Structure 1
Amino acid sequence: MAIQRSTPWTTPRNRHIARLALAMSAAMFIGACGGGSGASADKVRLTMWTWSNEATTAFKKAGIIDAFEKANPGIDLEVVAQLDKNYETLLTTGLAGSQSPDIVALRSYGVLSSFADSGDIVPLDDVVKDWSGFSKPALAGAKGKTSGKYFAVPQGIQTAQVYYNKKIFADLGLGVPASWDEFLKAAQKIKESGVAPVVIPGAVAAQISLAAEILGNARRGAGDFEQAFLEGGKNLTDPDNVAAIGLLEQIQPYLVDNVTSVTLDEAVTLFATGRAAMFPSGAWQVTTFANLGAEIDYGTFDVPVNPDWPSKAVTVSYADGGWALAKRSAHPAEAGVLLNWLAGAEFANLYANAMGTIPARDGVTLKNPRLAEMYQRYQSAPSTYLGAAYLRYGSPSGTDLLGEQVQKMWLGETDPAGAAKSVQTGIEAWFRPADFQ
């Protein structure tokens, strides 16, 4: 089964090639979209690009644009969604042109750092006046790896946890498991009832990697392992990380049939229709289920730990993008006004509630009770998604490698130790712990 790899945009060379290949067609595209042109004789129009249609809708329908323009009557704001699949390619060309957008949404960590290294976006340390409200994980995703400076105002945080069907659990007399052993016992009871206990999108490397992180972060040692990994004291062949990967082997008897062929959409459908009882995934699924109109009563929990594990239960989390200032913005002063507003609590409240995301800063009250519960757990015991935060700066990415190796493990072609060794060997082509110190 061929696994779906992600396509991280990680090197200036790749982006230079894209500039040459797309220059003529993109010039026409950018001219149609506009950017940085005055809205009227006495107003400045700022153009913001994002990969997300949902974000564009939120800005327009949740009152975000209206709130900004009311506070800044001399500035109009236009938010444009570009094609998600080709976003970084379009952005590369757009940022190089004379009609550059003013503000751009960028994915955190590796993608952001690559654009920072190219010089297409500018540092914001002195542009944004107050960074104090943002959480440490959110700020970590907004830094360029080379310079250590801030290049984006954080958008939000994604948490990752296990979704479970409350009706299935109640019908079988099951509660939220209090240990990993209880988790496996619950899975066995669900399987005996004729329902698939767990669904994972096993055809998609990034989704397998995410599930592996949700299940194994605490078993690996959570923050203690992260620190040792970045200091060079441990690598991915460490016995605790091998044991964490081994949890994916332990749950194999409880996965949906033909798991290595299951796509993300299929996994969502299986859970939403009650054909799978548990689904390890990100906080964004709250919005997905709501948009589907799925009549499912579900809850979430962090993976419970056994007493001999090196960490308590944690909420896996990672920075979920940010707003950056284009170097070729025609209106950098006004763009700076917008960025400072985006860094404030008013925007954070509007955006987090409209998008259904965990906020990147304090001063936010989430109206959705499920998201509020996730946010509370995150505040109590956050732990970084290692692959997203550190292993996507080069090729092959650690998340692609891990997804491929877990799939091979499910197919009987490797074991946890072999999988860990293959991932470690793969990232050694580019990963250096000293780069993150």
Structure 2
Amino acid sequence: MEIKSIRFLSLLSCITLLIGLLAACGGPGSDSSGSGSGEVEAVTLTFLVDNTQDSVNTANAYIEAFQAKNPDIKIELETRPGGAEGDNIVKTRLATGDMTDVFYYNSGSLMQAISPEKNLLDLTNEPFQANVMDSFKPTVSYQGKVYGVPSSSTVAGGWFYNKKVYAELGLSIPKTWSELMANNEKIKAAGITPVIGTYKDTWTSQLVVLADFYNVQTETPNFAQDFTAHKAGYANTPAALRSFEKLQELHDKGFMNTDLVATNYDTGLKMLAEGKGAHYPMLSFATPAIAQNYPDAMDDIGFFAQPGEDAAQNGLTIWMPGAAYIYKESKHIEEAKKFLAFIASVEGTKVVSEVSEPTGPYLIKEAQIPEDVPALVKDMLPYFETGKTAPALEFVSPVKGPSLEQITVEVGAGIKTAAEGAAAYDKDVEKQAKQLGLEGW
């Protein structure tokens, strides 16, 4: 009996050892991926976006919804700073071959500055491009090829304002620059900061100049074309120089907070929401951040276009959204295309609408703005409905100098005059124009 038991145990040990050897060698019942379940190991995509709260929120919303539909694809999110620092990170990672599979970046002139033919995957003939409105495609195109899809809704450049401050002081929405300056005088007299400056985040210093382009184009319709051809510049075009003069005027009249160089974007939104600052020149993409951080103040915030000289010509400068691109050297091209197809879908816009208030119309066909958007978004709609909008200069000209935000900091802080700033910017754009091989430079 004992002998039989010993033989049985020996046989059982041999069988156990054999099964272990088969599993180790990838035999029947084994999982070569190491998961032990027989499932195929998921592909992991890397995805780089700027570190603003809204970009992170929308990116995570896309990721969560996409992964639910595609469990065999995982996406790891990475973030970078905004502004010039973020631009340098993108350019460095592309130059060193260290870019993520998919990344967000600007459309328009800045996209052309990252050598799209060398670094970005050509998406011209991808089926999902049929979902993208034709008005967007030129902003992500280079030499006839399309490289991206819109990553959010359209954006307006103008002035947020605190409605409570306006009501308390009996102010009306300005339709001309002189009316806006008169409002600022009354606000300053009331002991409230008329215009919020947040130059610690240097990119925010550009808004007064950039949001003025509707007025530049109205007064000088051929400016974008002549600027691109080096036939006109900011310093020698009165309507364009006026954009820098407006920024200087805000400084000279003491309308901005004295600590503007030490104040950042998040603090600026807080000042606006709390009524400590009456105006904030900014892109409407700040709307979701206000909604998320100061939901009780949303009904107190409005938006208007940067005024020009003629009330009858009052209109809005708009920004095309940034785009999602695929790094040309990605090792997961097909999976990255699936992700971009989701971003460029009506379903994708619905997903992001749940975590981020749209700041203007979407550029995906059949996508709709939710009816419950904040009142300040509705403030923009009349400009779209009447056709009084114009794309910002960077969407109608490939020329944009990399140092504009440093120059506008200097003008807004009183270090340079408007004329000096305009001349410096005209000089700044030369290098990029020559790199692009533009005629006339």
Q: What TM-score, normalized to structure 2?
A: 0.74
Is 1:368 aligned to residue 370 of structure 2? Answer: no
Q: 1:228 to 1:83 in 2, by over 3 A?
A: closer
Is 1:318 aligned to residue 319 of structure 2? Answer: yes
Match of 1:21 in 2: none
Q: Deviations over 1:224-243 (max 9, x none)?
A: 23233234442212111122
Q: 1:254 to 1:313 in 2, by over 3 A?
A: farther
Aligned residues: 386
Match of 2:146 in 1: 150
Q: Deviations over 1:86-111 (max 9, x none)?
A: 766478558966x9743222333455
Q: 1:118 to 1:109 in 2, by over 3 A?
A: same
Is 1:173 aligned to residue 170 of structure 2? Answer: yes
Is 1:250 aligned to residue 249 of structure 2? Answer: yes
CA contact (8 A) 1:199 1:259 kept: no
Paired residue type of 2:425: V
CA contact (8 A) 1:388 1:399 kept: no
Match of 1:276 in 2: 277
Match of 1:418 in 2: 420
* Greater alpha carbon shift after TM alignment, 177-186 vs 109-118: 109-118
SS in 2 for 1:189: helix
Is 1:82 aligned to residue 83 of structure 2? Answer: no
CA contact (8 A) 2:273 2:301 kept: no
Q: Deviations over 1:260-314 (max 9, x none)?
A: 534224433332221211111112322222333364311111123332x8x9223
CA contact (8 A) 1:317 1:382 kept: yes
* Greater alpha carbon shift after TM alignment, 383-392 vs 326-335: 383-392
Q: Residues of 2 paired with 1:254 and 1:292: CA distance?
A: 29
Q: Residues of 2 paired with 1:120 and 1:303: CA distance?
A: 36
Paired residue type of 1:104: F
Q: Residues of 2 paired with 1:118 and 1:320: CA distance?
A: 21
Match of 1:16 in 2: none
SS in 2 for 1:417: helix
Q: 1:129 to 1:292 in 2, by over 3 A?
A: closer
- Please, which of 409, 418, 432 is the counterpart of residue 403 of structure 1? 409
CA contact (8 A) 2:303 2:377 kept: no
Q: Residues of 1 paired with 2:214 and 2:148: CA distance?
A: 29
Match of 2:307 in 1: 304
Q: Residues of 2 paired with 1:101 and 1:434: CA distance?
A: 28
CA contact (8 A) 2:202 2:405 kept: yes
Identity of aligned residues (%): 18
- Please, which of 221, 226, 229 is the counterpart of residue 228 of structure 1? 226
Q: Residues of 1 paired with 2:426 and 2:390: CA distance?
A: 21
Which structure 1 segments of 5+ residues have no match?
1-36
Paired residue type of 2:389: P
Which structure 2 segments of 5+ residues have no match?
1-32
Q: 1:200 to 1:130 in 2, by over 3 A?
A: same
TM-superposed CA distance for 1:374, in Å, is 5.4
SS in 2 for 1:301: strand
Match of 2:198 in 1: 201
Q: Residues of 2 paired with 1:202 and 1:56: CA distance?
A: 22
Q: Residues of 2 paired with 1:38 and 1:59: CA distance?
A: 30
Match of 1:4 in 2: none
Q: Residues of 1 paired with 2:304 and 2:377: CA distance?
A: 13
Q: Residues of 2 paired with 1:133 and 1:272: CA distance?
A: 35
Q: 1:43 to 1:340 in 2, by over 3 A?
A: farther
Q: Residues of 1 paired with 2:354 and 2:309: CA distance?
A: 35
Q: Residues of 1 paired with 2:255 and 2:395: CA distance?
A: 24
Q: Residues of 2 paired with 1:219 and 1:100: CA distance?
A: 38
Paired residue type of 2:391: T
Give the greater-gyration-radius structure (CA): 2
SS in 1 for 2:432: coil
Q: Residues of 2 paired with 1:420 and 1:164: CA distance?
A: 27
Match of 1:211 in 2: 208
CA contact (8 A) 1:131 1:343 kept: no
CA contact (8 A) 1:315 1:377 kept: no
Q: 1:115 to 1:290 in 2, by over 3 A?
A: same
